[in-house]
Amino acid sequence: MSTEGESAQDVQSALSVLPPTRPCLSGHLDRIAGVRLPGKPPSSLWDVSIQEGRISSIDPHDGNKSGFRNVATETVHGSTFDGFDRLLAPSLCHAHVHLDKCFLLQDRKYSDLQIESGDFREAMELTEKAKARFDQDDLLRRGRTLIEESIYHGVTAMRAFVEVDGGVQFECVLAGLKLKAEYRDLCDIQLCAFAQLPLFSREDEGEQVRKLMKVAATMEGIDVLGSTPYVEEDAAKQEANLHWISSLALANGKHLDLHLDYFLEEHKHPLIWLALETIQGYKWIENQGKHITLGHCTRLTRFNDEEWTALRQSIGNLPVSFVGLPTNAFTPQGNCDPLSIASLGVGIYQAGTKQDTEILYEAVSNRARTAIGCESTPLGLPIGEPADFVLFNRLSDGRCRKSISEVVYDAGPIRATIRRGRWTGKT
């Protein structure tokens, strides 16, 4: 796609050929009856009422009054669904997925691009080779697989990165916008126009990326702007990258997503300090800047107590959240289930207490949504919050999970997804 004469309107016009939006899998639910809830006594059952896609009340379940318990199978009675003792919890969220680069290692089109050394340089080289082959059919096919598998695992929101550079131009952006429109009733897909390549280290290429990103910043449907300052060749260009992308996001009213400090060496100075200083300098809050997400930041794992305290002070009241590099469909390991990350955290951090597992669940649920600037539903399911849920099905032997701890220990693949009071995924 040529950049000559390119504009946001030109790109938007290409979306007019979209097929009809995929319909929701069911009508609205008024009530989900007889379910277990996080934080409630394991033996108690509750009815969750829904109005206009939000939680309107939570009441103790009266099995005799409902008359549902005289049937042997799960049944929808009008707009009330009998949950049959299963656990209902807030839905899940992907805070960091690459919509354009998912499933590359499993796709026949890219079967020759396999990992040999396993280092970062090779990852960048293989990715660049793959991107040279991208086309709309390919991007849409792999993107649909990512979105649909995520929905069936309980995901109702995701931040999806789509790259912008001189090679792919707006191919990834176009595919992302089409998929966002196609699945708009099933999942909140927050698109991040992402500059993975340097903005300043390769002057001609960097200038082209900057021009493309300026266009992407004005597009309807692009919610976030992001870059990777750590790929620049020196500190001065890293600082230029930070200033440029931050000011662009602020000027266009977009969320900001910066990938920083993708290293562990303690002798290297973390870029996080400069990033926060830069953002503070733009008077982010006074100028009504949106949410800021800082990704990767692996160098933070080497911080001592004094550095953590200084970091908290540097953040102050900025709307900042941190998102690591999770297991997802872009990395070699993992899948489209965010709960697999929570389960992995139990072993990595030896975090098996009730409080630990609830934090791990929140990290792929309401905290993940907060990290990307989305409305979220906490574990307590407050009245008025979105009716976005996961309903965990019975195990093969008929048992029901009774707590968040149980699903974090072993979530299993069988669950159902509800977004704004409507079924979106059932397995």
Q: What angle do CA 12, 149, 358 make, to 5 degrees?
A: 110
- Encode the chain (427 residues) as per-residue pLDDT tens digits: 444 445 666 555 544 444 433 434 567 889 999 999 999 998 899 999 999 999 999 999 987 765 555 444 455 555 889 999 999 999 999 999 999 999 888 888 888 888 888 887 888 888 888 889 999 999 999 999 999 999 999 999 999 999 999 999 999 999 999 999 999 999 999 999 999 999 999 888 999 999 999 999 999 999 999 999 999 999 999 999 999 999 999 999 999 999 999 888 988 889 999 999 999 999 999 999 899 999 999 999 999 999 999 999 999 999 999 998 766 756 677 789 999 999 999 998 999 999 999 999 999 999 999 999 999 999 999 999 999 999 998 887 888 889 999 999 987 777 899 999 999 976 5
144: phi then psi, degrees, rounded to nearest 5: -60, -40
Reading the block at residue 98, the tokens are 């690459």
C-beta separation of 103 from 146 below 8 A? yes
In 3D space, the residue among 205, 212, 198, 128 whose CA is nearest the CA of residue 164 turns out to be 212
pLDDT at position 335 is 83
Which domains are assigned to the chain? Answer: 31-90+378-426 (2.30.40.10)
C-beta separation of 126 from 399 below 8 A? no
Per DSSP, the three-state class of 167 is: coil
HSE of 42, CA atoms in CB hemisphere, 13 A:
9
Amino acid letter at 239?
E
In degrees to the nearest 10, what's the CA dihedral of 305, 306, 308, 312? 140
Give the Cα separation of 85 and 280 in Å (integer). 49
pLDDT at position 117 is 87
pLDDT at position 4 is 45
Tell how strand 155-163 and strand 188-195 pair up.
parallel
Query: Under 8 Å CB-to-CB from 90, ≥6 apart: which residues?
Result: 38, 365, 366, 376, 377, 378, 379, 381, 388, 389, 390
